[in-house]
Amino acid sequence: MSDVVWAAPRPLAQSKPVEEWDEDTLVLGIETSCDETSASVVRGGRQILSNVIASQVELHGEYGGIVPEIAARAHVESLTPVIREALLQADVTFWDLDAVAATLGPGLIGSLLIGVAEAKAMAAVLDVPFVGVNHLEAHIYSNLLSDAEARFPAAVLLISGGHTLLVHAHEHGNYELLGGTIDDAAGEAFDKVARFLGLDYPGGPEIDRLSLLGNPAAVDFPRAMLREPGFDVSYSGLKTAVINYVRKCESAGGEISVQDIAASFQQAVVDIQVLKTMSAVTHVAAERLFLCGGVAANSALRKGLEEACAAAGVTFTVPPLDLCTDNAAMVAACGTAMLRRGFYTSLDAAPDPNLPLAAS
Ligand code: KG4
Ligand code: ZN
């Protein structure tokens, strides 16, 4: 369990009563959980006035993955200019803000600390509430931001570099975990397979791009746990199967088509995830499915779930690409929904690298 302290609502000098967190509420969101430095101003929890993202991809690219120390240092350098740019683009000043929300976890502790420290300092100086947001819950809110009709209850597939979860979102702040990966997250598998194939970091978009040129039926990679009951998935074996296949081809002196391998790997992920997700949707009799997280940017997964939902009469929502990967607009939107429920966070609260979804 998390040791995060959730402060009971109490009036601050300039904060509004809970019932006044309305469509004019301006919340600054800050996201620094991993390798994107982002700040955003969102009005009323739904209208994005700015969403500035400084990517660190080039810094980590030469290492083939995120280096936590480099990520934290880059956040220190980028965060203040990114916040300034977010306010400029939104055409608001610090003094217009009603609250400051920042990702409290899960994520890399060094990275989380930068955003949380800056958010707390700003909230204290401006005398407005600080809201510590769960990064996973924030991803769910990217669906509410991108589709005015989207609402709870909904089944959610949250699929990213750090997590792969199937969730039944009953209402704001009430999430039931239905299943998830028992080993690697889907995005982690994309990145590791891409690295093995010599592709650039992050590997997910590269595999997506190459797959368009390949044959998804070229190699029949295993689909683990497909016939097992429940909604858990496993990607570690699939990743190993790709590696073993390439090594076997190489030692036999055969030709390897990176495009075919990428397409076949991606098809296996899509088959697994579409089947498990639609089983979960049926199990909870969900009328809506939200797809979110970085891997939600994958074109084949978007198409696969869109078609499956259309066939099942389920309303499907997926954010545009820039709201799938890490961004601060989803943090501001989630923070606003927390404020509406009377939650904000003590300035004593510490970032939690393992913050579970249920704690939010
Ligand atoms: O949500 P996110 O930005 O960060 C985490 O919270 O993990 O997700 C990043 C992950 C990376 O693993 C990246 O390779 C993957 O999302 N990703 C994709 C695509 N775009 C990003 N995976 C597959 N296809 C894509 N188009
Ligand atoms: Zn994320």
DSSP codes of every residue in 31-67:
E-SSSEEEEEEEETTTEEEEEEEEE-HHHHHTTTS--
Q: Residue 101 pairs with which residues in a beta bridge?
A: 29, 131
Look up residue 302 and give its amino acid. R
Average pLDDT (46-71) is 91
Angstrom distance (rounded) from CA 64 to CA 201: 6
The string of DSSP codes covering 104-116 is: EESS-HHHHHHHH
Q: Residue 228 pairs with which residues in a beta bridge?
A: none
In order of 29, 37, 46, 50, 123, the CA distances from 88 in angstroms are 14, 16, 19, 9, 19
Give me the phi and psi of 139, to 5 degrees please.
-55, -40
Q: Which of 18-27, 30-39, 175-184 has the lowest mean pLDDT?
A: 18-27
Q: What is the pLDDT of residue 20?
A: 65
The alpha carbon of 160 and the centre of ligand 1 are apart by a number of angstroms equal to 5
The alpha carbon of 163 and the centre of ligand 1 are apart by a number of angstroms equal to 10
The alpha carbon of 157 and the centre of ligand 1 are apart by a number of angstroms equal to 13
Angstrom distance (rounded) from CA 39 to CA 239: 34
The alpha carbon of 292 and the centre of ligand 2 are apart by a number of angstroms equal to 9
The alpha carbon of 85 and the centre of ligand 2 are apart by a number of angstroms equal to 22
Question: Which residues lie closer than 8 Å to 121 by C-beta, 6 or more apart?
Answer: none
**Residue 142 in 3-state DSSP?**
helix
Q: Which of 8-12, 230-234, 334-338 has the lowest mean pLDDT?
A: 8-12
Q: Which of 190, 195, 266, 321 for mutating ligand 1's site (highest number of atoms within 8 Å of CB)?
A: 190
Residue 309 CB neighbour total at 10 angstroms:
23
For helices 258-283 and 203-211, angle between their N-to-C axes, nearest 10 degrees: 100
Angstrom distance (rounded) from CA 199 to CA 207: 8
- In terms of pLDDT, which residue wins out, 112 or 340? 112
H/E segment holding residue 339: helix 329-340
Q: What is the pLDDT of residue 6?
A: 42
**From 3.40.1790.10, 3.40.50.150, 3.30.420.40, 1.10.3720.10, which CATH number describes the 18-145+324-340 domain?**
3.30.420.40
Q: Among the residues of 233-295, which ranges form H helices?
A: 236-251, 258-283
Domain 152-319 in the same topology as domain 18-145+324-340 = yes
Q: What is the pLDDT of residue 254?
A: 82
Q: What is the pLDDT of residue 140?
A: 98
The alpha carbon of 40 and the centre of ligand 1 are apart by a number of angstroms equal to 20
Taking CA atoms only, the protein residue closest to ligand 1 atom 13 is 204
- In terms of pLDDT, which residue wins out, 15 or 247? 247
Q: What is the pLDDT of residue 8?
A: 43
Q: What is the pTM of this model?
A: 0.93
pLDDT in tens, 171-180: 999 999 999 9
Atom of ligand 1 nearest to the CA of 188: 12
Q: How confident is the model at residue 12 (pLDDT cuts 50, 70, 90)?
A: very low
Taking CA atoms only, the protein residue closest to ligand 1 atom 11 is 161
Look up residue 31 and give its amino acid. E
Query: Is 304's pLDDT higher than 50?
Result: yes
Angstrom distance (rounded) from CA 103 to CA 133: 5
Ligand nearest to the CA of 185: 1
Domain boundaries defined on the chain: 18-145+324-340, 152-319
Q: Show the ligand 1 pocket: residues with CB < 6 angstroms.
A: 34, 160-162, 187, 190-191, 202-205, 208, 293-295, 297-298, 325-326
Q: Residue 155 pairs with which residues in a beta bridge?
A: 168, 289
The alpha carbon of 291 and the centre of ligand 2 are apart by a number of angstroms equal to 13
Q: What is the pLDDT of residue 1?
A: 41
Contact 45, 333 (CB under 8 A): yes
Q: How confident is the model at residue 10 (pLDDT cuts 50, 70, 90)?
A: very low
The structural architecture, per CATH, of the domain 152-319 is 2-Layer Sandwich (3.30)
Ligand nearest to the CA of 300: 1
Query: Is 9's pLDDT higher than 60?
Result: no
Q: What is the pLDDT of residue 65?
A: 83
Angstrom distance (rounded) from CA 42 to CA 333: 7
Q: Which of 25-39, 48-62, 259-273 has the lowest mean pLDDT?
A: 48-62
Atom of ligand 1 nearest to the CA of 293: 1
Contact 45, 353 (CB under 8 A): no
Q: What is the pLDDT of residue 62?
A: 84
Both structure tokens of 338:
């927390």
Atom of ligand 1 nearest to the CA of 191: 14
Query: Is 141's pLDDT higher than 70?
Result: yes
Give me the phi and psi of 19, to 5 degrees please.
-70, -10
- CB half-sphere exposure, 342, CA atoms < 13 A: 4
